[in-house]
Structure 1
Amino acid sequence: MTTQTETEMWLPIRDVPGLPRPIPAIGAGCWTIGGPAANQGTPIGWDDVNPDDALAGLHAAYDLGVRLFDTADVYGMGRSEQLLGQFVSQVSRAGLVLTSKVGYQPGPDGGHPYAPNQIRRQFEHTLTHLNTDYLDVYFLHSGDFGPEDRYLQPAVDTLQDLLRQGAIKAIGLRAPHEFAVEWADRDGLIAAQAARFLHLFQTVHPEILTVRHNLLSHQVSEGETDVFAFARQRGTGVLIKQALGQGVLLGTHDPASPRRFSALDHRSRDPLFAPAILHAVRHGLRNAGVAAGDVPGLEIRAALGFALRQQDAAVLVGFRDAAQITATITAARSPIHPADLDLVHRALQPARDLLHHLPPPIRQTDK
C-alpha cells in the first residue's frame, strides 16, 4: 500500500475548499468505467469496459496515491457506483474522498429527478452501491429543476437536510462549460447560461463546483472573471473534469479512420469526435511536437499541465483499466515546461475555434 510520503512524491497535495482534507491533485473520474448505457433514450455510456480491468484500474490509482474518486448515479445507470463500491470494500474508506451526483434519473413513476423523494431514493441507492454510509460531496448534476424551477428549493432543502444529518459533508454544483461573470450582462444564449449559473449558485450556496476544463476550452478575455476566479472569490472549491478531452487530446484518434461507437456510447453523438475536430487536434499536436522538439509524452503532459495550472482545484482523469490510469499519473510526475505548454495551447487554437462555433446545445453532451 502507498504511504503518504510516497504519495507526495508522485502527486502534489492540494487543499481544495469543500473537500474534507488535503488530497493529491489528481483524482479518478469514474464516468468512463460505467460501461455502455442510455438514460431515457440518450446514450451516456462508454464502450469497451471490462469490469475486472476497471476494478484493477481503481486499485492502480489508489496504489499510485489517488484518494479522490468521483462518480454519479447515472454513470452506467448505477454500474460505476457499484464497481467503485466493490473497490471501497477492499480498502480503507477513512482515507478516501467519495463524491457522487443526482439529477438525471426520474422516479419509477416518471417523477422529476429532483423531487425530494426521488433524491432520497437515489441517495440511498448511491450509499448502498458505494458501500459507505456518507458522501464527502453530493452534486446537483443537472440544471433542470422543472417548470419555473419548481423543484429547485425542495432539492436544496433536501440536500441541506442530508448535510445536517452528516450523510453528506458538502454540496456541489455543476458549472457551465463556458462562463465568465461579465457575460450575464450580455444578450443571447451565452448570457442566459451565465445568468442561470449565477442564480443557481446564489440559491444552492455550494461548497464546491465541477467544471469541464482542458486545452480545448474556450478562453475568457482579459479582465473577465472566469469560473476559477469566481470560485476563489467565494472560497469555493473546484473539481476539473475531462482534462484529457475524453482522450482526444492524446492524439490517438485517427480522423482518417474515426472509431465507430455503439448506440449506447455517448461519443456516437458527441461532435468532439467528428473527423473535422479530430483532424484539427491531431494537426495542432503535430505542429506543437515539431516546434517543441523531442519532448517525451508531450500530449498527455500538456493536457495535465494545463489543468493543474489551476492551483486551487483537483483534476479528475478518466480511465478504463490500470494501464491508462498508470500512464496518466506517471505523466503527472514529470511536469511540462511552461514554454512547451504554451506551444501546445497555441497550436490547438484552430480546434478551439471549431468547437466554440458549434451550437451550444449540441456541444454540451457530457453527463
Structure 2
Amino acid sequence: MNTLTHRVLPGLHATVSTIGAGCWTIGGPATNCGVPIGWDDVTDDEAYRGLMRACELGITLYDTADVYGLGRSERLIGRLLNHVRRDDVVVSSKVGYFTGTSRHAYEPHQVRHQLATTLDNLNTDHLDIYILHSTDFGADDRYLDRTIEQLREFRQQKMIRAIGMRAPHAFAEEWAAKSGGRASDTRRWLHLFHRIRPDVVTVRYNLLSPLYSSDETDIFSFAQRHHIGVLIKQALGQGRLLRQRSTAYRTFSTGDHRTADPSFLPTELRRLDERLAPLRDRFGTRLQDIVRIALRYVIQHAPHAAVLVGFRNAEQIQTLVGSLGDPLTEDEMIEIRALLHPNTSAAERFDRAVHRG
C-alpha cells in the first residue's frame, strides 16, 4: 500500500513524493580526476531492484548526476524509465564536476555534451531539473554567463524544465552583512543566486544541521520567499546517523568517497555516537526508530521541500520508507533539538516545557 505523501515542489510546479530517491549511492565506486567519488558494495542488479522497489513504494522523484558512477547511476534510472510512464516521474541530474577532455566542466561545448550524454543514459528526451553541481565557474567566473545562457536555452527548448543550483550547508541571509569568511561565502552565493535565478536549490539538512535564531533567514525561508523548490540531501548523514554503536569501524576502497571524508574516521564516528546517545536513549535504538526520527525531523521542518534518501538495494529503500511511522509532535521536535543542540534556545524551550508539565 502506498503510504507516501506528496508535495508540490515550488519552482518546478510539479507534484513529487515527499521522499525522493537519491541515486548517488547506486553509482558504485568511482574516481574523478583521482578523487574518490563513489560508494562501495553496489551491484547493478541489486541497485536496479532497489529502483524498482522505490517505484512500487510510490517514489516519483529520482535525483542523479553525470558524475555518479560516471554515468552508471543515470543508466540504471534509464532502465527504470523503460518501465514507467515518463510523465509519472520527476528526474533531476547535474553538471559541473566532470571535465572530460575540456578545459573546464562548464566549457559551453562540455555542458552541451554532458546534457546529450545524460539524456541518452536516461533514455529520455528531457530532464525535469538540471542542477549546476559546482559553483566553480573558472577564473573570474569566466564561464558563468555562458553557462546561465546555455541552461536557459535548454529550458526554452524544453530539454529541461527547471534550473537548479547548490545551496551552502550552513546559510542565513543576514550573514552577508557581517564580516569574516562565512559572510564572504554568503555574499558569494547570493551573488550567484541572483545571477542564475534558479528554480530549485539543493541543500544538506539533517538532525545535525545548525539551528538558526528567529531573526535569521535560513535557506528554507529564503526559498519560500523566492518561490523556489528545495531538494534536501544527506537527511541521514550519508548513513552515519543510522550507524549502530556496536558497528565495527570499516575501511573503504579507493573509489569510495568515504575513504577521504574525515567525518568517517573512527574518532569522528565515536564523537557522533556520543552526541546521538541521548537521542537513542529517549526514542529507541532500533534502526526503524532512528530512521523515523531522522526523516520525520527533516520532513516536518521543511514542509515545502522534498527529501532525498540514498540506498543500494531493495531492502534498504523498503526499510527507509517503511520506517516513517507517525509524525513527530511539536514537543518531540523541541526535545530532539534540545538533545542534539543543548547550548541553544531549543534546550531552554524544552526545559520550560518540562517544568510546566
Q: Structure 1 residue 341: deviation in Å?
A: 4.2
Residues 20-57 of structure 1: per-residue CA shift (max 9 Å, x gap): 42121010000000000111011110001011111000
2:26: which partner in 1?
33
Unaligned runs of 5+ in 2: 345-357
Query: Which TM-score applies when normalising by structure 1?
Result: 0.89
Matched ranges for 1:222-233 at <5 A: 222-233=214-225
1:58 aligns with 2:58: no
Q: Structure 1 residue 81: deviation in Å?
A: 0.6
- Taking the aligned partners of 2:250 and 2:4, their CA distance within structure 1 comes to 33
More displaced 10-residue stretch of structure 1: 338-347 or 29-38: 338-347
Matched ranges for 1:236-315 at <5 A: 236-252=228-244, 254=246, 257-292=248-283, 297-309=288-300, 310-315=302-307
Give the one of 121, 127, 132 matched to 2:124. Answer: 132
1:326: which partner in 2?
318
1:361: which partner in 2?
none
- Taking the aligned partners of 1:254 and 1:265, their CA distance within structure 2 comes to 22
- Taking the aligned partners of 1:136 and 1:224, their CA distance within structure 2 comes to 31
More displaced 10-residue stretch of structure 1: 286-295 or 129-138: 286-295
Give the one of 57, 73, 78 matched to 1:80. Answer: 73
1:99: which partner in 2?
92
1:219: which partner in 2?
211
- Measured at CA, do residues 205 and 258 of structure 1 come closer, stay the same or move farther in structure 2, by a change above 3 Å? same
- Taking the aligned partners of 2:286 and 2:105, their CA distance within structure 1 comes to 47
Q: Percent of aligned positions with the same letter in both sequences?
A: 47
Residues 337-356 of structure 1: per-residue CA shift (max 9 Å, x gap): 44444444433338x9xxxx
More displaced 10-residue stretch of structure 1: 329-338 or 141-150: 329-338
More displaced 10-residue stretch of structure 1: 299-308 or 61-70: 299-308
Matched ranges for 1:326-365 at <5 A: 326-349=318-341
- Taking the aligned partners of 1:122 and 1:282, their CA distance within structure 2 comes to 41
- Taking the aligned partners of 2:27 and 2:283, their CA distance within structure 1 comes to 37
Query: Which TM-score applies when normalising by structure 2?
Result: 0.91
Kept after mapping to 2: 8 A contact 1:251/1:281? no
Give the one of 159, 171, 176 matched to 2:168. Answer: 176
- Measured at CA, do residues 222 and 154 of structure 1 come closer, stay the same or move farther in structure 2, by a change above 3 Å? same
1:143 aligns with 2:163: no
Kept after mapping to 2: 8 A contact 1:29/1:71? yes
- Taking the aligned partners of 1:295 and 1:262, their CA distance within structure 2 comes to 28
Unaligned runs of 5+ in 1: 1-5, 353-367
- Taking the aligned partners of 2:246 and 2:256, their CA distance within structure 1 comes to 18
2:353: which partner in 1?
none
Compute the RMSD of aligned alpha carbons.
2.0
- Taking the aligned partners of 1:346 and 1:52, their CA distance within structure 2 comes to 42
2:350: which partner in 1?
none
Q: How many residues align?
A: 343
- Taking the aligned partners of 2:334 and 2:48, their CA distance within structure 1 comes to 36
2:352: which partner in 1?
none
Q: Structure 1 residue 274: deviation in Å?
A: 2.1
- Measured at CA, do residues 284 and 200 of structure 1 come closer, stay the same or move farther in structure 2, by a change above 3 Å? same
Q: Structure 1 residue 222: deviation in Å?
A: 2.8
Kept after mapping to 1: 8 A contact 2:284/2:290? no
